[in-house]
Amino acid sequence: MKRKAPKYIKQSRPELTAQEVKFCQYISESMSGIDALKKAGYKFSSEASYYTSANRLLRIDKIRKYLAELREQASKTAKINFNKVVEQWSYIAFGDRRAIYNQDGTLKPPHEWPHEIQVSVASAETIETENGVVKKIRFEPRGEALKELARLIGYGEPETRGRPKTAPSEDKTIYKDIANDEATAELGGD
């Protein structure tokens, strides 16, 4: 019996199989390599095989070009770029949260808060009680922002290939120190 040639989906760049296209789409949605393979329909007998295959696929030029194309399309659609993402995470990690208060310690109205602080507010709640009004402001966690910044600048790679990539030993120490609360306080945090 003659074997049929695989179906290809026409891309603006190289031709990819339907599974490769799905794999790329899942990777571009921030899935790990292993999860993207599984969701794209690849079948392997072990996690090690998934890891090896994800690694292999991510080194193929046509896959890399298509991933770059997907990222470019996504950033144009969202009107974002790498610098803007880093800037927003920096606001969360390093913003002076005291800026939401007046000199006398009262809370400023939200429209008077600096933009870099507005970005870092996870929620704001006003509760009226018998004794007056209680205002609760919850900020995005600095530790998470610091971890994400470290990942973005290369101190801790995402799990794109199934396993997290570790930074060089001297960088690991810096990354570990930045992630704890004491270092955050030294950097101007809470």
**pTM score > 0.85 for this model?**
no
Model confidence at 156, pLDDT cuts 50, 70, 90, reads: low
The reply to whether 74 falls in a domain is yes
Q: Do 66 and 112 sit in the same domain of this protein?
A: no
pLDDT of 1 above 60: no
Q: pLDDT: is 16 or 176 the higher one?
A: 16
One-letter identity of residue 44: F
Q: Do 27 and 13 sit in the same domain of this protein?
A: yes
One-letter identity of residue 128: E
Strand-pairing partners, residue 17, are 8
Q: How far is CA 92 from CA 134, 165, 175, in A?
A: 24, 24, 17
Domain CATH for 68: 1.10.10
> What pLDDT score was predicted for residue 11?
41
Q: Do 73 and 97 sit in the same domain of this protein?
A: no
Name every residue whose Cβ is closer than 8 Å to that of residue 161 and which is 6 or more positions away in sequence. 32, 33, 51, 54, 55, 58
Q: Do 166 and 118 sit in the same domain of this protein?
A: no
Q: Do 123 and 67 sit in the same domain of this protein?
A: no
Q: Do 107 and 121 sit in the same domain of this protein?
A: yes
Model confidence at 163, pLDDT cuts 50, 70, 90, reads: very low
What's the sign of the alpha-carbon dihedral 58, 62, 65, 67?
A: negative
Q: Do 30 and 55 sit in the same domain of this protein?
A: yes
- Long-range contacts of 150-157, Cβ-Cβ distance < 8 Å, separation of 24 or more: 150/175, 150/178, 150/179, 152/82, 152/85, 152/86, 152/89, 153/86
Q: Do 98 and 57 sit in the same domain of this protein?
A: no
The reply to whether 2 falls in a domain is no
Q: Do 154 and 101 sit in the same domain of this protein?
A: no
Residues 56/35, Cβ–Cβ less than 8 Å = no
The reply to whether 131 falls in a domain is yes
What CA–CA distance (Å, rounded) separates 27 from 82? 17
Q: Do 62 and 100 sit in the same domain of this protein?
A: no
**In which domain, by residue range, is 148 found?**
143-186
Q: Which helix (H) or strand (E) holds 75?
A: helix 61-78
Q: pLDDT: is 4 or 133 the higher one?
A: 133
Using DSSP's 3-state secondary structure scheme, residue 71 falls into helix
Residues 40/52, Cβ–Cβ less than 8 Å = no
Convert the pLDDT of each residue in 88-130 to its tens digit.
889 999 999 999 999 999 999 988 999 889 989 999 898 998 9
Q: How many other CB atoms sit within 10 Å of the CB of residue 120?
A: 23
The reply to whether 96 falls in a domain is yes
> What pLDDT score was predicted for residue 76?
77
Q: Do 113 and 153 sit in the same domain of this protein?
A: no
What CA–CA distance (Å, rounded) separates 148 from 152? 6
Q: Do 98 and 121 sit in the same domain of this protein?
A: yes
Q: pLDDT: is 179 or 41 the higher one?
A: 41
Task: Give the number of domains in the chain.
Answer: 3
